[in-house]
Amino acid sequence: MSNGHPHDADAVHNLPVLTVGEVSQALKRRVEEAFARVRVRGEITGFKRAASGHLYFSLKDADAVLSGVCWRGSAGRLGLEPEDGMEVVATGRLTTYPGRSQYQIVVDAMELAGEGALLKLLEERRKALAAEGLFDEARKRPIPFLPEVIGVVTSPTGAVIRDILHRLADRFPRRVLVWPVLVQGDGAAEQVAAAVAGFDALSAGGDVPRPDVLIVARGGGSLEDLWAFNEEAVVRAVAACTIPVISAVGHETDTTLIDFAADRRAPTPTAAAEMAVPVRTELLAQVLDDGGRLVAAAGRLLAERATRLEALSYRLPDLARMVDERSQRLDDWSERLANGLRVGLEGRGARLAGLAAKLVDPRQRIDHAASRLAGEARALAAAAGALLRDRAARLQHAAALLDSMSYQRVLERGFALVQDTTGHPVTSAKALSPGMAIGLRFHDGEAGATVTGAGRKPRRAKPTAGDDGQGSLL
């Protein structure tokens, strides 16, 4: 019934019936055979790293989106860290994923697409490392004026090492240690970082001499060719190195990240050799010139001092005449000194004799002082006796007054002192309670008692005739 042609209907019914899995597998084989090896350029989007280590992302451009996956074994060999927004060229094979009816690329290699992407990544890395302080000027060390040993990190087969050695030999021959490394391609960054760290790990006085300065060098090339010297591992190794480092990578217009981390940047490897050592012939000429100028200056100085000395000597007086005058003056003063001493001694002797005549006999002064001391002693003894008698009379009077006021005198008149079990006086009937043990103290002893009634006001006896109600303590 199809278009009125019976053979069309027969053709449809003769097609084999395939399962969904068979169709998916057929498409998978066809795609993998047709696209066994492809390179796809696009911008990474939706990037994520699974817990298994596999990478999942999509590559997109203005027209389409292609899913991508990178297995864990290949992810570690990519040489870069994928992220969203990065434009890359992915190398791999196309396949299908039947579980989602989609096709995808299985990536085993990846590189940045174009110099613009490299420059963007380079700038982002530079800012991140600069924020850590790896490029600070305060970290940079001065290059030794004349190093004994120079370490060079570069390729052993290129023209760079020959240029450096030739320039060093021309200027000032020094001992050079070369650490051969790859300067381009896979593993180059790791080798350069290991070489810098290896030189830095050498100890002074060891079998292998420790360099006084390092030169990290490479010839010119494209940004991709010089990329190993932009890797973070190389930059950190140069920044952490305690040996001063000269960066000489590429030509004068080439700039890599180790240029910022190094202590000095040379525009070319040859210029790095010139920075490392001075020119020996120029130094010799400078030393000779300085020596000649020093000798001439010393000669001029001596001649000037001799002239000044001669001029000053003309102004000096006649020394012999000065000595004669001083000798005569010395004789005069010696004679005057002798006469003065004699006269002085005579005057001091007469004065001493006059003073001795005015002195009082010490024995008379002692006898007079002894007489005064005896009189004062007698007066002091009399005053002390009177004072003691007065104090004794006052003490006896106070003792008699204190005795008259003692409570013992009251007890002798028939009164008793009531005390509780702790020995404290009971001064109020309210402090007593029935059955309470109390003590009674009389003038001739103590006795115990028990309270039979308490808190009652004592009954006063009716006053007798002639009694005024005041009682008597007598």
Q: Give pLDDT, residue 257.
A: 87
Q: Give pLDDT, residue 443.
A: 76
Beta bridge partners of 153: 179, 216
Q: In the block, which residue shows the tokens 């434009």?
A: 87
DSSP 254-273: ---HHHHHSSEE-SSHHHHH
Conformation bin of residue 144: beta by default, left when phi > 0, alpha when psi is -120 to 50: beta
What is the tens place of the pLDDT at every residue in 159-196? 889 989 999 988 888 899 999 999 888 888 899 999 99
Question: How far apart are alpha carbons 273 and 245 in whole angstroms?
Answer: 12
**What topology is assigned to 122-278 in CATH?**
Rossmann fold (3.40.50)
Question: How far apart are alpha carbons 408 and 445 in whole angstroms?
Answer: 11
Superfamily classification of domain 19-112: Nucleic acid-binding proteins (2.40.50.140)
Question: How far apart are alpha carbons 178 and 263 in whole angstroms?
Answer: 19
H or E segment and range at residue 370: helix 362-404
Q: Give pLDDT, residue 1.
A: 47
Provide the 10 A C-beta neighbour count for residue 451.
16
Q: Give pLDDT, residue 462.
A: 55
The token pair that represents 439 in the structure block: 């003590």
Question: How far apart are alpha carbons 292 and 300 in whole angstroms?
Answer: 12
Q: Give pLDDT, residue 434.
A: 87
Q: In the chain, where does the domain assigned CATH 2.40.50.140 lie?
A: 19-112
Q: Give pLDDT, residue 242.
A: 93
Q: Give pLDDT, residue 473.
A: 36
Three-class secondary structure of residue 23 per DSSP: helix
Q: Give pLDDT, residue 7.
A: 56
Conformation bin of residue 414: beta by default, left when phi > 0, alpha when psi is -120 to 50: left
pLDDT averaged over 10-residue windows placed end to end, the chain, 474 residues: 54 76 87 89 89 91 91 83 83 88 89 69 82 89 91 90 90 91 87 93 88 91 80 91 91 84 91 88 83 91 90 78 84 87 87 82 84 90 91 89 77 81 83 85 84 63 50 39
Three-class secondary structure of residue 413 per DSSP: coil
Q: Give pLDDT, residue 456.
A: 55
Helix axes 188-201, 232-240, angle to 10 degrees: 10
Measured CA distances, 212 to 277, 304, 326 (Å) = 11, 46, 70
Q: In the block, which residue shows the tokens 């309270």?
A: 451
Q: Are 259 and 140 in contact (CB under 8 A)?
A: no
φ, ψ for residue 5, nearest 5 deg: -110, 110
Sheet containing strand 417-419, edge to edge, reads 417-419, 437-442, 445-450
The alpha-carbon radius of gyration of the chain (Å, integer) is 62
Three-class secondary structure of residue 56 per DSSP: strand
Sheet containing strand 245-249, edge to edge, reads 175-180, 149-154, 213-218, 245-249, 264-265
198 Cβ contact partners less than 8 Å away, ≥ 6 residues apart: 179
Q: Give pLDDT, residue 185.
A: 81
Q: Give pLDDT, residue 470.
A: 46
352 Cβ contact partners less than 8 Å away, ≥ 6 residues apart: none
What is the tens place of the pLDDT at every residue in 15-34? 888 888 888 888 888 888 88
Torsion of CA 429, 433, 435, 437, to 10 degrees: -60
Three-class secondary structure of residue 292 per DSSP: helix
Q: In the chain, where does the domain assigned CATH 3.40.50.261 lie?
A: 122-278
Q: Which sign, positive or negative, has the C-alpha torsion 111, 113, 119, 121?
A: negative
The token pair that represents 464 in the structure block: 């007798």
Provide the 10 A C-beta neighbour count for residue 412.
12
Measured CA distances, 380 to 292, 370, 376, 377, 391 (Å) = 104, 15, 6, 5, 16
| pTM score over 0.75 | no
The token pair that represents 321 in the structure block: 């005449």
Three-class secondary structure of residue 277 per DSSP: coil
Report the first-to-last Cα separation within the chain, whole angstroms.
Answer: 163
Question: How far apart are alpha carbons 387 and 393 in whole angstroms?
Answer: 10
